[in-house]
Structure 1
Amino acid sequence: MRIDVHFVNSLTDNEAGGNPAGVVTEGDALNDTQKLEVARQVGLSETAFVSRSEIATIKLEFFTPTRQIAHCGHATIATFSLLRQLGKVADGWLTKETVDGCRSVLVEGGEVLMEQRSPTYSEIDGKSALVTRIAQSIGTLPADFHVMPTVVSTGNRFLIIALPDERCVAEARPDFPAIKAISDELDLIGYYLYCTSTKVAGRHAGTRMFAPRFGINEESATGTAAGPLACFLHDRMGIEDRHITIEQGRLMQPASPSVINVNLEISDCGISRLMAGGKAVVPSSKHVEI
């Protein structure tokens, strides 16, 4: 069986860089085993599969080369950007059905934003052995943490790690087996390291993301991690802006500059919802035989 796969560079910075995702627009004919095989052959961090939905604009499933995952930010942006380019959806509010319910998506002005939930926080005890293990897993010391690492979830759990400056983030030495073990222990997607130094003035954070638990050692743009970080910056670090811009991919090797925009919706009870995303470019497509 021949499967058409579109390659989409998602969350690009001025149409450059970004994080590539595979998108299969005709996913109805494939079972989960076949989808996993397509994702394995594509070899990107995630491949998205579009199917018909009775409750949303589309049904959207995400597969890494090793397993299915519930959500993927950059592959969501990639999918809706591609569908808009193909004329299969219009600008405006849309929805995606996922394995754990429906989420809103906004397509507007060449940008795609996806809904994430209000945040929950769980701070790591600074006196625990765990904080030492976390530091060792990225080649640093607990004293280098700007604040204590915190698990933040807006639907996906990430360990937010604040480091003093760009050099510390760039020179992090990830021990992937150790990161995987801690991610299993804390039920994380992965680590999100950040500093407030950025390449472009006016942006809020420069980041790196490690998720070996899901077969992703490092990727250049992670929408599902940018949402938790934006909430953390607002709620824990005193940043009052409701529009947060995050750089990713500049500090990895090879570099692939990416930008994720996060809009926070604030109520009397705090952050009630957020929309995260950006722009994408469709450079190519290929065929996969399964």
Structure 2
Amino acid sequence: MATYTDLYQVDAFTETPFNGNPAGVVLDAGQITPDIRQKIARELNCSETAFVTQTGQTTFRFRYYTPETEVDLCGHATIATLHTLHEQSGLTGEILVNTNVGDLPMRIEADGTAWMRQAAPQYRDIDETTKSRILDSLGLTKDELDANLPFGLAFTGLWDIMLPLPTRQSVHALQPNFDALAKVSKQLGAASVHIYAFDPVDQQSTLHTRDFSPAVGVNEDPHTGTANGALGALLVHHGVLKPGQFIFEQGWSIGRPGHILVEVTPDMQVFVGGRAVTTITGRLRLS
């Protein structure tokens, strides 16, 4: 006899279907093996699919898979999952989620806005030779960077390469060599190269971003919660921004615009938040 579980596809960081970043969500995943999880993620072909196990009244375990591999943390899939828990069971308030980077406090507000606390931020410099390789893989020269902003590695659950450009037009013009970008990203232990510019489309936004993640099998990720949280931490760390709440926009380059809420507290706690909308609900056949 076939066995089934419920499956959802959710667009995160938007309230408009087919914008934001789609993620798969499987809520009752405790008996699904890692091999089958990987096959499900490949079948859905979202940049990430989250698999959820409830371990207590307000405690959960989240695991994340791209079509190619498991990753330790994923911001947009977390927001999609919190939205689904709220929508399907009315869950609100504070919860604790076990991830591969540790136990992370999360919160669902009454209106469905979801917040995840990220791992404690860390930073690493990139040597000049490696910077040149990154620039070459993006078709850029050093002179095209915004030299007043940090170009380095930041971590709030995953390591990401942060690269500043002066305008969103220069961000949109990029045509990366994805093989080369994947190679240098893997050598640095980075999940993505995250491009940013203080040149947003929307007046309420702080900056405009774009994310390339070929190292984990996703050439361009529409919205990247972990990377934007790490970027917020990096900019506060360098004094570019003061601690506070920000709106980072992403997704315009591939026709899926959306907004990511980022909060960095004075003691450098990092939170990423947003809204989401369910686009597909179905039954997943497991056997």
TM-score of the pair, normalised by structure 2? 0.92
Q: 1:208 to 1:183 in 2, by over 3 A?
A: same
Would you say 1:213 and 2:215 are equivalent positions? yes
For residue 97 of structure 1, what is the amino acid of its counterpart?
A: N
Residue aligning to 1:104: 105
* Distance apart, 1:235 and its partner CA: 2.4
Q: 1:2 to 1:111 in 2, by over 3 A?
A: same
Would you say 1:193 and 2:205 are equivalent positions? no
Q: 1:166 to 1:154 in 2, by over 3 A?
A: same
What's the CA shift string for 1:82-114, capped at 9, x where partnerless?
11111252x211111113321010111321010
- Contact persistence 1:248–1:258 (CA under 8 A): yes
Residue aligning to 2:163: 161
Residue aligning to 1:223: 225
Q: 1:22 to 1:176 in 2, by over 3 A?
A: same
Residue aligning to 2:283: 287
For residue 73 of structure 2, what is the amino acid of its counterpart?
A: H
Q: What is the CA RMSD across the aligned residues, in angstroms?
A: 1.8
For 1:93 and 1:6, the matched residues in 2 are separated by: 22
For 1:174 and 1:165, the matched residues in 2 are separated by: 17
Residue aligning to 1:76: 78
Residue aligning to 2:69: 67
Unaligned runs of 5+ in 2: none
* Distance apart, 1:237 and its partner CA: 5.0
TM-score of the pair, normalised by structure 1? 0.91
Aligned residue for 2:81, secondary structure, equals helix
Would you say 1:248 and 2:250 are equivalent positions? yes
* Distance apart, 1:39 and its partner CA: 0.9
* Distance apart, 1:13 and its partner CA: 5.8
- Contact persistence 1:210–1:219 (CA under 8 A): yes
What's the CA shift string for 1:147-187, capped at 9, x where partnerless?
35210111211000000111110001111111111111100
Residue aligning to 1:51: 53
Would you say 1:122 and 2:124 are equivalent positions? yes
- Contact persistence 2:104–2:116 (CA under 8 A): yes
Displaced runs of 4 or more, over 6 A: none
State the percentage of identical aligned residues: 28
- Contact persistence 1:39–1:47 (CA under 8 A): yes
Aligned residue for 1:86, secondary structure, equals helix
For 1:114 and 1:83, the matched residues in 2 are separated by: 14
Count of aligned residue pairs for this structure pair:
281
For 2:129 and 2:157, the matched residues in 1 are separated by: 27
Would you say 1:266 and 2:266 are equivalent positions? yes
* Distance apart, 1:118 and its partner CA: 3.2
Unaligned runs of 5+ in 1: none
* Distance apart, 1:117 and its partner CA: 2.8
Q: 1:100 to 1:132 in 2, by over 3 A?
A: closer
